[in-house]
Amino acid sequence: MEIHSHLNTGRIEGVGSSRPTQQAARVLADKVDLSSAGALDEALRNTPEVRIDSVQRAREMVNDPAYPPRETIRQIARLVASTLPEEY
């Protein structure tokens, strides 16, 4: 009788499982679909460099003395203060 202690009797990944192995998932993640690249290029060409409506809204907000609301400023101040070391 021979005993081979180097035999792997452990579970074989991917067998009996619907989930791919980590290696298979990495291989799948490395693939790139470029079929819509042309549509993306076309959309970028048709996008204006300056969005007039956004610029106008920003101008209105800058000129509004109530912007940003005081409560927003308080919340931001609390968040900033909570990240400071106690030494300050």
Q: What is the distance of C-alpha 5 from the center of its chain?
A: 47
pLDDT digits (tens, 9 = 90+) for 5-61: 555 555 555 555 555 566 666 655 666 666 778 888 888 898 888 889 999 999 999
Q: Which of 29, 49, 45, 28 is nearest to 37 (CA)?
A: 45
> pTM here?
0.37
* Residue 12, amino acid: I
What are the sequence ranges of the domains in the chain? 22-83
Please give the DSSP secondary-structure letter assigned to residue 10: S
Q: What is the pLDDT of residue 61?
A: 95
Looking at residues 49-75, what average pLDDT do you find?
94
The answer to whether residues 21 and 14 touch, using CB atoms and an 8 Å cutoff, is yes
More confident residue, 27 or 76: 76
More confident residue, 76 or 33: 76
Looking at residues 57-83, what average pLDDT do you find?
95
Taking the C-alpha atoms of residue 37 and residue 35, their distance in angstroms, rounded to an integer, is 6
H or E stretch including 29?
A: helix 22-29
